């Protein structure tokens, strides 16, 4: 199964974060939505699932919260699984609110308020999107730019507020991804397998388990890692579109050896064989790579 036109956001998380305008930055410009139009069960959001859990790195399944650990935020009740996640939420609650009042993001693009399965979700651009099922989520991911733009307009009509602050589509298609001869990013290795939650060791992906993303096919070693990618694509997309990070710092594009990698600041960096060691010895290369990549994006 393939899913086309996912928005690449892992790189943009640092380079173009201003494009993702958060609600707290817009409080004076846009009114607060009427909570009565939210998808709630007697005031309870997310079916009682812990909202912080959706954003936790390395978590495959979200968990239900406890009624005794409840927080009321502007008329909406949230449950938490422990005091730690409750405290995290209380430190900045608005960033954990689901888009479109907690209704299915795919249906919202059609102007429909449809209930959700709380475990069918995707976190994109720092925003939680919910869906009526996994099939609906996968369909949404396949045309994410168009879905977000349409749903933003419909949610404005339904709620009376502009929800484009939730996530702004960004087109990076002018800059190609680095792929091998089979069109596979990361040389056909499972991009999730590089991360600690999946073992931290690169594994070859299967041609039977792929996700097409901006013209590049991602192959996965198992259905679990494929689902982890679909839930939180921001976390797993390689930095610099999969090109050698060292070469980017030097102002050029180069292929990679998929076994040469680093997880740095939560991002997957890939390298041509041996250049990862040079990268680690020279702290200035990281800043140079960011500047070089920014210029490349602006030129295209």
Token pair of 192 as six digits: 């999730």
pTM for this one? 0.79
**For the residues of 43-100, what is the DSSP string, one character each?**
TB-GGGB-GGGGG-TT-SS--B-EEEEEEEETTEEEEESSHHHHHHHHHSGGGGSBGG
pLDDT digit string (tens) for 93-107?
999 999 999 999 999
Greatest Cα pair distance, the chain, in angstroms, is: 58
CB 230 within 8 A of CB 242: no
CB 156 within 8 A of CB 26: no
Return the C-alpha torsion angle 153, 157, 163, 168, nearest 10.
0
Q: Which residues of the chain have pLDDT under 70?
A: 1-33, 162-175, 213-215, 300
Residue with tokens 């977000």: 148
pLDDT value of residue 185 = 92
pLDDT value of residue 28 = 43
- Find residue 123's DSSP bridge partners: 128
pLDDT value of residue 1 = 47
pLDDT value of residue 213 = 65
pLDDT value of residue 260 = 96
pLDDT value of residue 18 = 35
pLDDT digit string (tens) for 130-180?
999 999 998 888 778 788 889 999 998 888 876 554 544 444 555 688 888
- Crossing angle, helix 144-159 and helix 134-141, to 10 degrees? 110
Average pLDDT, the chain: 84
DSSP code of 25? G
56: left (phi over 0), alpha (psi -120 to 50) or beta: beta
């Amino acid at each position: 199964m393939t899913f086309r036109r996912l928005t690449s956001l892992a790189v943009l998380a640092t380079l173009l974060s201003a494009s993702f305008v958060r609600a707290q930055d817009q409080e004076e410009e846009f009114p607060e939505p009427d909570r009565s139009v939210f998808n709630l069960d007697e005031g309870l959001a997310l079916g009682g699932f812990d909202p912080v859990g959706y954003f936790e790195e390395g978590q495959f399944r979200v968990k239900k919260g406890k009624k005794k650990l409840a927080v009321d935020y502007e008329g909406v009740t949230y449950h938490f699984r422990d005091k730690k996640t409750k405290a995290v939420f209380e430190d900045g609650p608005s960033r954990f609110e689901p888009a479109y009042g907690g209704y299915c993001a795919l249906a919202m693009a059609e102007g429909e308020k449809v209930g959700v399965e709380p475990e069918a979700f995707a976190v994109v651009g720092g925003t939680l999107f919910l869906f009526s099922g996994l099939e609906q989520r996968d369909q949404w991911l396949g045309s994410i730019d168009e879905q977000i733009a349409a749903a933003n307009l419909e949610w404005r009509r339904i709620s009376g507020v502009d929800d484009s602050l939730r996530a702004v589509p960004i087109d990076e298609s002018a800059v190609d991804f680095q792929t091998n001869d089979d069109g596979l990013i990361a040389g056909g290795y499972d991009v999730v397998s590089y991360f600690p939650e999946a073992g931290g060791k690169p594994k070859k992906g299967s041609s039977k388990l792929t996700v097409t993303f901006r013209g590049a096919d991602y192959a996965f070693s198992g259905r679990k890692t494929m689902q982890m990618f679909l839930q939180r694509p921001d976390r797993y997309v390689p930095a610099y579109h999969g090109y050698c990070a060292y070469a980017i710092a030097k102002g050029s594009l180069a292929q990679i050896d998929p076994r040469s990698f680093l997880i740095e600041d939560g991002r997957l960096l890939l390298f041509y064989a041996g250049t990862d060691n040079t990268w680690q010895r020279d702290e200035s290369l990281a800043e140079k790579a960011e500047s070089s990549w920014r210029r490349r994006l602006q030129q295209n």
